[in-house]
Amino acid sequence: MIPPISRRPRRLLVGAAALGAALTFAAPALASTQPVAPAGAPARAAAPVAARSAAWAAGTRAYLVITAPGDTSAVRSAVTANGGTVFSYFDAIGVVVAHSASATFATTLRGVSGVQQVGATRTSDVPADAYNPALPSNPAQSTTPAGEPVRWDMSQIKADQAWAVSTGSSSVKVGVLDTGVDDQHQDLQPNFDAADSVSCAYGKPDTRTGAWRDVDSHGTHVAGTIVAAKNGKGVVGVAPGVKIASVRLAEPTSTLFYAENTICGLVWAGDHGFKVTNNSYYTDPWQFNCPDNVDQAAIIEGVRRAQEYAENKGSLQVAAAGNSNYDLANKTTDTESPNDSTPTTRRITNACLDIPTELPGVVTVSAMGSGNVKASYSNFGNGVIDVAAPGGDGSNGVYSTLPGGKYGTKSGTSMASPHVVGVAALLASAEPGITPAQLRDKLSLQANDVACPSDSRCTGTTAKNAFFGEGQVDALKAVGTTVPPGKYFENTTDVAVNDNTTVESPLTVSGVSGNAPAALKVGVNIVHTYIGDLKVDLVAPDGTVYTLHNHTGGSADDIHQTYTVDASARVANGTWKLRVNDNAGGDTGRIDSWNLTF
């Protein structure tokens, strides 16, 4: 059985390899709204790390103190007057990060005028490292032999075909909010933006050189999937021409992502022009934050405001759905929280949110295995999942960069989310002025529908369902000059075409009113030697046959063509089929994919 998500980054390690040598990992711990400030107002944080003077004391806990956006000075004074210290603050969203060792601090502050909410962000002490944080190590780099073969995940979303059209624009900046990134890695260094990288561990920006580096390996792996350079070595990311910045949220040792860290990272993303951010984690220590709990309600509000701030600044957040094979649309229990002390089992409802994954405006990503199937571990939920992407499963993990110039495989929704971020970066490269809302819409529009399997948990339609949302992202469509007009349906499942056989590939059409158009577009991609052997027909739901190709082409290879069919007398909705007959010997092939545009 694949282990469920528990804490830390949304990862599920099923195996790893570095340059052919096995790596050993510990058991994985495991993946719109009103503006809160004027678009031009930056969110001020507290003094940089060098100015820290507070001394750590046992029993120190962290709190979010929430007030009206704009000016937190009065509330900051109240924090100091009531047994706390101000660790950092973000005026534009009205959030103060306070530390206190007093057991009555939160209760006292809730009675102060101007304080809207107060919530503890941890059930364990703030580490002493928060006051004098050590820099992550800068690992020695391995040398990688030449060669970067196309991996299954990239071909599944047609990224390898997209690279021939566009690799993305260097003016597009993507943020990896994670465990950090190894900026010295040969596949990441060419596209790395150190000037906009930071550590937000503990909830305050640390801009020292290298503070953004990886305290695990998760963030470096995520970064490679998005942006690994097309340099003839290792791997290629979905968008190898864009820039990437690291925002380390994870704290060392625990690698936990607390609310203050997430808030700091999202505000940084907004202020530093990140077009898209990847969020392959949930906000610790609660797998789900419930609004009827006073502490968790403050976490929801604080992170929500930070997400809104980033979006209002032009940043789209993409997040992993999680690895518990859990129905996010029908929540019942949480057995894994809090993960920084002693987890207990509690009853929950759909009002309890996975943060930031279920916040308004965030694109939620489920994971697929090789072959366009739901990954066994992936969370799901009708109305929760927006799109899907390869995350790996079983023996087919996602191969990407690891610290120290290495490479390896990981599987999880953490690995699916960066594929979507890469596609979003390609879309943003084509339209520099695109807004987060428009980018969300385009991600949905370019996704290829994936029908539910025979699984009663997968509710909804082929066009949008609990397992795959709007479908699997498609990098090739993202770099096209136009999105196909009308409703677009595609089947990418391979169907073998053997000698002297007839095969069919079905495609379910739904959500189209009335009859099919008089100029129905039928895109056909058949890989087959000697296409003169083949007869290719489109079969309408009522059984009407339209012949597309009839034993022409002689010894030519493959059919990659779009046909136009007058199907105006046929109802659009239903199961259409591409029928291929091979009536000779000696040459075989497959239906690679086909599509209909209404």
Residue 562's H or E segment, with its range, is: strand 559-565
Whether cis (ω within 30° of 0) applies to the bond prior to 338 is yes
H/E stretch holding 597: strand 589-597
Main-chain dihedrals φ then ψ at residue 519, nearest 5 degrees: -125, 60
Placement of tokens 């403050």 in the chain: 298
Which residues lie closer than 8 Å to 578 by C-beta, 6 or more apart? 491, 504, 505, 507, 522, 524, 536, 537, 538, 539, 591, 594
- Integer angstrom CA distances of residue 311 from 35, 89, 363: 9, 19, 12
Residue 284 structure tokens: 């610790």
Beta strands 276-279 and 316-320 are parallel
Report the residue count for the chain. 598
Three-state SS string across 388-423, please? EEECCECCECEEEEECCCEEEEEECHHHHHHHHHHH
Tokens of 40: 């031009």
Which two structure tokens, joined as six digits, stand for 215? 């305290």
Q: Are strands 589-597 and 559-565 parallel, antiparallel or unpaired?
A: unpaired
Phi, psi of 131 (to 5 degrees): -90, -15
Sign of the CA dihedral running 248, 249, 251, 256: negative
Alpha-helical (H) ranges within 86-233 are: 105-110, 152-156, 159-162, 218-227
Query: CA quadruple 264, 266, 272, 274: dihedral positive or negative?
Result: positive
243-248 and 198-199 beta bridge pairing: parallel
CA–CA gap between residue 374 and residue 389 (Å, rounded): 9
Beta partners for residue 497, in sequence order: 589
Contacting residues for 533 by C-beta, under 8 A, at least 6 apart: 551, 582, 583, 584, 587
Provide the phi-psi class of 39: left if phi over 0, else alpha when psi is between -120 and 50, else beta: alpha
CB contact at 8 A, 417 and 219: no
Name residue 288's amino acid.
F
CA separation for the pair 315, 310 (Å, rounded): 5
What positions carry a catalytic annotation? 178, 218, 414
